[in-house]
Amino acid sequence: MAEAPRPALPNLSLAERAWRIRRNALRMGEVQGQGYIAQALGIADVLAVAYFHALSYRPHEPEWEGRDRFLLSIGHYAIALYAALIEAGVLPEDELETYGGDDSRLPMSGMAAYTPGMEITGGSLGHGLGIAVGMALGLKRKRSRSFVYTLFSDGELDEGSVWEAAMAAGSHRLDNLIGIVDVNNMQADGPSTQIMNFEPLVPKFEAFGWLVQRVDGNDLEALVTAFDLARHATVTRPRIIICDTRMAKGVPFLEERERNHFLRVEPEEWARALDVLDQGRPA
Amino acid sequence: MRRSKYLRPAHLDAPAGGGARLKTSAMIASIAGPDQRTRAAPFGQALVELGRTRPDVLGITADLGKYTDLHLFAKAYPDRFYQMGMAEQVMISAAAGLAREGFTPFATTYAVFASRRAYDFIFMAIAEENLNVKIVCALPGLTTGYGPSHQATEDLAIFRGMPQLTIIDPCDALEIEQAVPAIAAHQGPVYMRLLRGNVPLVLDEYDYSFELGRARMLRDGSDVLIISSGLMTMRALEAAKLLAADRIDVAVLHVATIKPLDAESIRAACARTGRLVVVAENHSVIGGLGEAVAGELLRGGIHPAGFRQIALPDAFLDAGALPTLHERYGLSTEAVVAQIKSWL
């Protein structure tokens, strides 16, 4: 690859990784002055566990055949995945300031053709899980031991295609597919459960033939346990980790904002947000 | 024109001997006429053949394996066939995923479902990524009497707007057999309109061979140039023979690749002076081959002696027996002949 590799930092804790992912995301948010920053802060712990505990990948060889695939179905969460890919050394840190700009490799909505480490083009919601089904079938054909992870959101559960894919994954017994649902209970028009009640989620996915876990998506220890079980369970079922997360986690004054689906943050507030985050830096 | 649903069919109350009425043919029925030479399931046969040398070729369907002739592939290679149930969105998404992992899936359903229901998934998961998925769809245009739920009269209009998608509308069994390996060899997504079951065999009389992206002049003529695709090329060739008896000299340019259009051949053929240009297609008058050709001619500053379309009306078509419907909507050979005569 053309760009210089980022120095590896092998000994950081998951808490430190999550903090750095949040920091990367806030800095990208500041570039645009707005964006899906609350989702990124909310999902940072899940991404830290995914990229620094669960996934196999080679930072400088993003298309390495032996990698675990991580599919971002929610295109607008790109800011979160860029933050994690920068932390993982897949993307160089200095591209962060190009976020959402002309000729950037980091567009506002994630696209496979733009960004190393971005496996699919998301954004039209309800696509990721179906593509994951096909990739999981393909990996089985190749006798590969890689997993397909796909991150989708509670709002995405409104899309019928998610349930077509959920049924197909169960029917084809795709034990190499690990779904991750971010339940932050916020979508474009308001709280997700009020927009379209998707609960109860656990029995729904169980009924579709999945191995289901529901965890606090901001509890690193619980996430590690859940990812381990998803990877090592022997049942021939697709796995799902339903993650209850808190929007804007780590920056309390943003957590409190009532409508934080698409956050507008005043210029002076970015410095304050970074300060608040830095005060919460893990020891 | 559809009658009110509160009116009894008029012929029931007519005096006896009102004539036999055709029945709606089953979807598995062939479009072939009673005396036509046919070949059985050319797509399925060709895909089985291709599968021998291309282990990357897979079959995937949404509960329409039998009705797209894909069942032959499923029988020959059971472990290379994926049944996704009656769910076109995940069928297309899964095909995208398989292509991402290096395979070449042939995804089959009916043209109405691929174009109307799965469009976003084809657009974003396959075409935007230029993935190697071949979407092969039965019941294109007016090839069933089941009514608008099954008649894909606007599939070309829908798909022509999709960047990077190659669109094929083959004429007969020979062309389908040749198109299968050709589209598999092409890198990128393809939508192919499929004739299934006992498919007419016509083009072998014309020393034809399919070439992706190329139109082919099947016969020359000085009065009329018919530019046609799909089964309408078969009608055009039959019409040309009948019109010859009336000393009307008809050329037929067959355009199997709708996109990218062979603009060069079309412009060259239309630039010849003195010919009426008639574009004939098994598709709505809106957004198909006719408008594509018209656009080429206007952009190219080419002015033929006249320009006409033989196509389906911009309407929800009737249910009924296919021969009746082809006559009613102007796709039968007799209707093609009559329309051309009326324009001369």
Q: Say if A155 falls within a structural domain.
A: yes
Q: What is the pLDDT of residue B25?
A: 63
Of B200, B235, B259, the position where a domain reaches its end is: B200
Q: Say if B320 falls within a structural domain.
A: yes
Residues B194 and B221 in one domain: no
Q: What is the pLDDT of residue A8?
A: 55
pLDDT classification of A189: cutoffs 50, 70, 90: confident
Q: What is the pLDDT of residue A52?
A: 97
Q: Say if B205 falls within a structural domain.
A: no
- Decide if pLDDT at B35 tops 60: yes
pLDDT classification of B27: cutoffs 50, 70, 90: low
- Decide if pLDDT at A7 tops 80: no
Asked whether A181 and A212 are in contact (CB, 8 A), the reply is: no
Domain of B271: which CATH number?
Answer: 3.40.50.920
Q: Say if B287 falls within a structural domain.
A: yes
Pairing of strands B134-138, A239-244: unpaired
- What 3-state class would DSSP assign to A34? strand
Residues B120 and B218 in one domain: no
Question: What does the block give as tokens for B305?
Answer: 């002696």
Q: What ipTM was predicted for this assembly?
A: 0.94
Would you call the peptide bond into B260 cis, given omega within 30 degrees of 0 as the criterion? yes
- How far is it, in rounded angstroms, from Cα B342 to Cα B330? 13
Q: Say if B339 falls within a structural domain.
A: yes
Q: From the list A119, A127, A139, which residue is nearest B93 (CB)?
A: A127
- Residue A247 has, within 13 A of its CA and on its CB side, a CA count of 24
Q: Which of B88, B154, B177, B238 is catalytic?
A: B88
Residue of B113, B44, B114, B105 whose CA lies nearest to B74: B44
Which chain B residue lies closest to A166 (C-alpha atoms)? B90
* Least confident interval from A8-12, A159-163, B323-327: A8-12
- Decide if pLDDT at B307 tops 60: yes
Domain of A104: which CATH number?
Answer: 3.40.50.970
pLDDT classification of A10: cutoffs 50, 70, 90: low
φ, ψ for residue A220, nearest 5 deg: -60, -40
Q: Say if B67 falls within a structural domain.
A: yes
Q: What is the pLDDT of residue A178?
A: 98
Question: What does the block give as tokens for A163?
Answer: 């349930």
Q: Say if A132 falls within a structural domain.
A: yes
* Least confident interval from A7-21, A170-184, B16-30: B16-30
pLDDT in tens, B278-288: 999 999 999 99
Which residues make beta-bridge pairs with B140? B152
Q: What is the pLDDT of residue B285?
A: 98
Residues B82 and B178 in one domain: yes
Residues near B47 by Cβ (< 8 Å), separated by ≥ 6? B57, B59, B70, B72, B73, B106, B180
Which residues make beta-bridge pairs with B38? B200
- Decide if pLDDT at A1 tops 80: no
Higher-confidence residue of B17 and B102: namely B102
Residue of B192, B268, B284, B199 whose CA lies nearest to B227: B268
Average of pLDDT values for A189-211? 94
Q: Say if A1 falls within a structural domain.
A: no
Number of other residues whose CB lies within 10 A of the CB of residue A75: 23
Q: Do residue A127 and residue B87 have CB atoms under 8 angstroms apart?
A: no
The one-character DSSP state at A6 is: P
Residue type, A203: P
Residues B195 and B228 in one domain: no
- For residue B317, the enclosing domain spans 213-343
Residues B161 and B42 in one domain: yes
Residues B148 and B271 in one domain: no
Taking the Cβ of residue B84 and every Cβ of chain A, the question of whether any pair is shorter than 8 Å is answered with yes
Which chain B residue lies closest to A162 (C-alpha atoms)? B90
Average of pLDDT values for B65-80? 97
| Radius of gyration for the alpha carbons in chain B, expressed in angstroms and rounded | 20
Residue of A66, A72, A29, A28 whose CA lies nearest to A47: A72
- Decide if pLDDT at B230 tops 60: yes
Chain B positions touching A136 (Cβ under 8 A) are: 97
Of B166, B200, B234, the position where a domain reaches its end is: B200
pLDDT classification of B127: cutoffs 50, 70, 90: very high
Q: From the list A111, A131, A164, which residue is nearest B96 (CB)?
A: A131
Q: From the list B85, B87, B93, which residue is nearest A134 (CB)?
A: B93
Average of pLDDT values for A217-221? 97
Number of folded domains that form chain A: 1
- Decide if pLDDT at A209 tops 50: yes
- A272: distance to nearest CA of chain B, Å? 39
- Decide if pLDDT at B313 tops 50: yes
Name the residue with tokens 């990812």: A227
pLDDT classification of B272: cutoffs 50, 70, 90: very high
Distance of CA B261 to the CA centre of its chain: 15
Which chain B residue lies closest to A148 (C-alpha atoms)? B97
The full 3-state SS of chain B, as one line of letters, equals CCCCCCCCCHHHHCCCCCCCCCCCCCCCCCCCCCCCCEEECHHHHHHHHHHHHCCCEEEEECCCCHHHCCHHHHHHCHHHEEECCCCHHHHHHHHHHHHHCCCEEEEEEEHHHHHHHCHHHHHHHHHCCCCCCEEEEECECCCCCCCCCCCECCHHHHHHCCCCCEEECCCCHHHHHHHHHHHHHCCCCEEEEECCCEEECCHHHHCCCCCCCCCEEEECCCCEEEEECCHHHHHHHHHHHHHHHCCCCEEEEECCEEECCCHHHHHHHHHCCCCEEEEEEEEECCCCHHHHHHHHHHHHCCCCCEEEEEEECCCCCCCCCHHHHHHHCCCCHHHHHHHHHHHC
Average of pLDDT values for A53-69? 97
Average of pLDDT values for A243-265? 87
Length of chain B: 344
- How far is it, in rounded angstroms, from Cα B326 to Cα B332? 5
Mutation site, B93, B119, B121, interface A, largest A CB count within 10 A: B93
pLDDT classification of B130: cutoffs 50, 70, 90: very high
Tell me, yes or no, if B101 is annotated catalytic.
no
Chain B positions touching A133 (Cβ under 8 A) are: 90, 93-94, 97
Question: What does the block give as tokens for B204?
Answer: 């072998």
Mean pLDDT (chain B, rounded) = 95
Average of pLDDT values for A47-57? 97
Q: Say if B328 falls within a structural domain.
A: yes
pLDDT in tens, A115-166: 999 999 999 999 999 999 999 999 999 999 999 999 999 999 999 999 999 9
Asked whether B344 and B222 are in contact (CB, 8 A), the reply is: no
Q: Angle B38-B41-B47 (CA atoms, 0-180°, nearest 5)?
A: 130
Q: Say if A112 falls within a structural domain.
A: yes
- Decide if pLDDT at A4 tops 60: no
Q: Say if B152 falls within a structural domain.
A: yes
Average of pLDDT values for B307-331? 96
- For residue A46, the enclosing domain spans 14-279
pLDDT classification of B292: cutoffs 50, 70, 90: very high
Residues B161 and B265 in one domain: no
Domain of B160: which CATH number?
Answer: 3.40.50.970
Number of folded domains that form chain B: 2
Asked whether B94 and A134 are in contact (CB, 8 A), the reply is: yes
- What 3-state class would DSSP assign to A182? strand
Mean pLDDT (chain A, rounded) = 93
- What 3-state class would DSSP assign to A2? coil
Average of pLDDT values for B267-293? 97
Residues B57 and B145 in one domain: yes
CB pairs under 8 A between A and B: 97
Residues B196 and B217 in one domain: no
Taking the Cβ of residue B120 and every Cβ of chain A, the question of whether any pair is shorter than 8 Å is answered with yes
Residues B97 and B54 in one domain: yes
Residues B68 and B166 in one domain: yes
Residues B125 and B234 in one domain: no
- Decide if pLDDT at A175 tops 50: yes
| Helix-helix angle A14-32:A267-279, to 10 degrees | 170
* Helix, strand, coil abundance in chain A, percent, nearest 5: 45, 10, 40
Pairing of strands B276-284, A177-183: unpaired
Q: Say if A197 falls within a structural domain.
A: yes
Q: Say if B47 falls within a structural domain.
A: yes
Length of chain A: 283
Residues near B77 by Cβ (< 8 Å), separated by ≥ 6? B48, B51, B59
Q: Say if A214 falls within a structural domain.
A: yes
Taking the Cβ of residue B55 and every Cβ of chain A, the question of whether any pair is shorter than 8 Å is answered with no
